[in-house]
Amino acid sequence: MKLSKLNLMLAAGGLMSMALVGCGGGSDAAAPTEAPVNVPVTVVDGAIQNAVVCLDRNANGACDAGEPFGKTNADGNVTLEVPAADAGKYPIVAIVGTDAIDKDNGPVTVPYTMKAPADAPAVVSPLTTLVQAHVETTNTTTAEAKLSVADQLGVSGDALMADFTKANDAASLQAGTLARLVVVTKQEQVTATSGATGAGGSALSAAEIEAAVNARLLQLLPSLIVAASDPAVASAATPAAKEAALLAAAQAVAAEAGLSKENIGAVVAVNQQAGTAESAADTGAGATLRWLSFTDLQNYFIRAFESTAEQAAVDANGKRHFTEWRESMVNGVLKESGAGGANDLPRSQIYWTGAEWFDCPLDFVSEATPWNAQGESESLFCKSFKSKNKRKARDIAGLSMADLVREIRAYPMTDTAGKFSEWGPDPVAHAATLGSQTFPAGSKLYYFTGTPLMNPDAYGTAASDIAKVFSPALVSGETAACAAFTANTQGTEAATLEEVIAGAPGTPCVYTANPAVHGAKNESWGPTTVGIGDVTVAPFAVPSDWYKNDFKRYRASFGANNAVTYYECVVRADGTSVRNCSQIGTGTYSIEAKGDARVLRFANLPAIGRNSDRILVERAGKVHYGSRDKLTVSNQLRLNLPAADALLAALGLE
């Protein structure tokens, strides 16, 4: 199906110069009739001495002449004299140079910058920096940014903004570990991208690089919490050992971030673009291509959003409307939105809207506000997903298709739909197909930042999403106290949550019964040379599974008084069973009524799997596996209709 049949998606820093430090002056003069306001600020990773702190009036991430500034003392404290008219209006920036001293971690060897939102200036820390980065990247409010960051890190919004060095409770210690990991990760990325250049070969400033690093870290918050929870970090016996463990964890996160001298300039260029306001193209029928996967004409996937001319018109409530369209070809078998029967491409999830469980069809008409002058719009998708979206447009008319696909694949940010490295046709494998073709007049590439404000509970309707109660199957070397659930064991569909809870008690197999035979976790129980990618066991096929990842399962067993024990288990290389488990945490579960359903939630889930929270939903006599996604920022690259039609035609998708 050619994309032209669709009809436009509507949802859619650095070190301050020493000259400035020495130039004197703590603040601008206040208006003659208004006394200046004293704004106390505390700068912490540990308490930071000699940090240069300022009111960032021009929002460039640096401390410039004329901006109120001061230096922190040994306890990380400084008071800025701010004109009354400026108080609470601009963010706070703290420049931590190589003359700074961290009370907990010693002299700073790699400079970095931290920030705090304009309406929360009291503490500047690595965690407030994430909140302010969210504000800047998405143009959300501080409250919305706190909600998103806290949701992903599993830290309360109050803890994000507090001075965690002043307490020794578990929440403060966790916040301190996360903060230190953010700093070390930033230092790794700043070092790796030092000397990077932007458009025209001009050197990028430290503030520009840090802004790009902060934006990328926002997408890696689940990875940060997993890295901070690494046993090597938790078990470190000395500060030096903990710092070494945090460095190793930070290097892993930095590697995942993937920012380099070669690609960070693309992120900086997008950051510097102004938002794209409403235009004539937004008022008529059209479409945008959200995602394209393409191997060949027998294997591809297209996801787009469309509007008819009528849907694109603003209604009496100030809203425009759009629908989603998908087309999938797998080994020559075509499925598409609304095809009906065996060729239909279902969504296979049911969402809680706040008032009802909604089985959202792919052709459901969702709504969004028109794009404002800053290029922002709010959308409500499937009556369930509320998001704030920001877009920036780039004219790509005349650009080589092969070059643009190559550029998209190299873009270091991520989309929740997939990895950009896998977007579109491989420009090497399809060099002959793309040839020297270019995009026609009117072609645009939109850079979208999607910020969820509300994500619903959802459950799956596929057969693999139905919970079953299994009978334990003993194999050689096991005891009744350590019984395995195997993929071949026939189970009975659970009708209630209580049946699932009763069917997953006790201790999963750890194979200590006969270590001479089975070993601890020997070579047949993990990623061997058998190249099967992910395991063949259906996701969450065992009723107590709450997360899966390659050759591992993460299981929960239920105990008395709503207690839950979490385990990390190894999957047999042939995918036939889940055993060899190690305890990784404890928590509780609760059950609540939602409409005509009952929902089981886990508390204190281990860090692994923090992209979403696992839930179980009992409805209409069945128990379904479900989840609630985290409020994760998504960076999307979308082609407008002329560009999408041209690329699809070049690939033979007429």
Q: Are 501 and 467 in contact (CB under 8 A)?
A: no
Residues 486 and 608 in one domain: yes
Strand partners, 568: 554, 582
Looking at residue 507, its pLDDT comes to 53
Q: Which residues pair with 654 in a beta bridge?
A: none
4 in a domain, yes or no?
A: no
127/148 Cα distance (integer angstroms):
12
| HEC sequence for 594-608 | ECCEEEEEEECCCCC
Structural domain total, the chain? 3
Nearest-10 crossing angle of helices 142-153, 126-138: 120
Distance CA 614, CA 547 (A): 7
* Spatial CA neighbour of 209 closest among 138, 113, 300, 127: 113
pLDDT at 34 (0 to 100): 74
What pLDDT does residue 30 have? 46
Low-confidence residues in the chain, pLDDT < 50:
1-31, 473-489, 509-551
Domain span including residue 483? 462-629
pLDDT (0 to 100) of residue 21? 31
182 and 318 assigned to the same domain: no
Q: What is the pLDDT of residue 52?
A: 97
157 lies in the same domain as 53: yes
Which DSSP category does 356 fall into?
S
Q: Is residue 13 part of a domain?
A: no
Contacts 24+ apart (CB under 8 A), 344-351: 346/461, 348/460, 348/461, 348/462, 348/465, 349/458, 349/459, 349/460, 349/461, 350/458, 350/459, 350/461, 351/382, 351/383, 351/384, 351/385, 351/456, 351/457, 351/458
- 240 lies in the same domain as 328: no
Q: Answer yes or no: is 261 within a domain.
A: no
Cα radius of gyration (the chain): 27
352, 438: one domain: yes
DSSP letter string, 157-176? HHHHHS-GGG--SHHHHHHH
Query: Is there a single domain that holds both residue 622 and residue 555?
Result: yes
With respect to residue 1, please indicate whether it lies within any of the assigned structural domains. no
Distance of CA 400 to the CA centre of its chain: 31
* Residue 225 domain-assigned (yes or no): yes
Render the burial of 270-291: b for 16+ CB within 10 Å, e for the rest.
bbeeebbeeeeebbeebbbbbb
Tell me if 379 sits within 8 A of 11, measured CB to CB.
yes
- 171 by Cβ neighbours in 10 Å (0-12 / 13-18 / 19+) ranks as middle
Are residues 643 and 610 both part of a single domain?
Answer: no
Q: Which pairing describes strands 286-296 and 424-425: parallel, antiparallel, or unpaired?
A: parallel
Q: CA-to-CA distance for 260 and 198, rounded, in angstroms?
A: 12
Per the structure block, which two tokens stand in for 85? 């008219």
Q: What is the pLDDT of residues 5-62, one digit of tens each?
A: 333 332 333 333 323 333 334 444 444 557 889 999 999 999 999 999 999 999 999 9
pLDDT in tens, 344-372: 777 889 999 999 999 998 889 999 999 99
Q: Burial code of 419-451, b = ≥16 C-beta within 10 A, e = fewer?
A: ebeebbbebeebeebbeeebbeeebbbbbbbbb
pLDDT at residue 552, rounded to an integer: 54
Same domain, 332 and 476: no
567 within some domain: yes
Residue 172 lies in a domain: yes
- pTM here is 0.83
d(C-alpha 301, C-alpha 424), whole Å: 9
3 state DSSP class of 645: helix
Same domain, 65 and 212: yes
pLDDT the model gives residue 519: 42
User: Do strands 92-96 and 112-116 pair parallel, antiparallel, or not at all (unpaired)?
Assistant: antiparallel
CA dist., res. 419 & res. 405, Å (int): 13
- Domain shared by 222 and 325, yes or no: no
| 344 located within any domain | yes
Q: Do 61 and 198 lie in a common domain? A: yes
Same-domain check for residues 470 and 330 = no
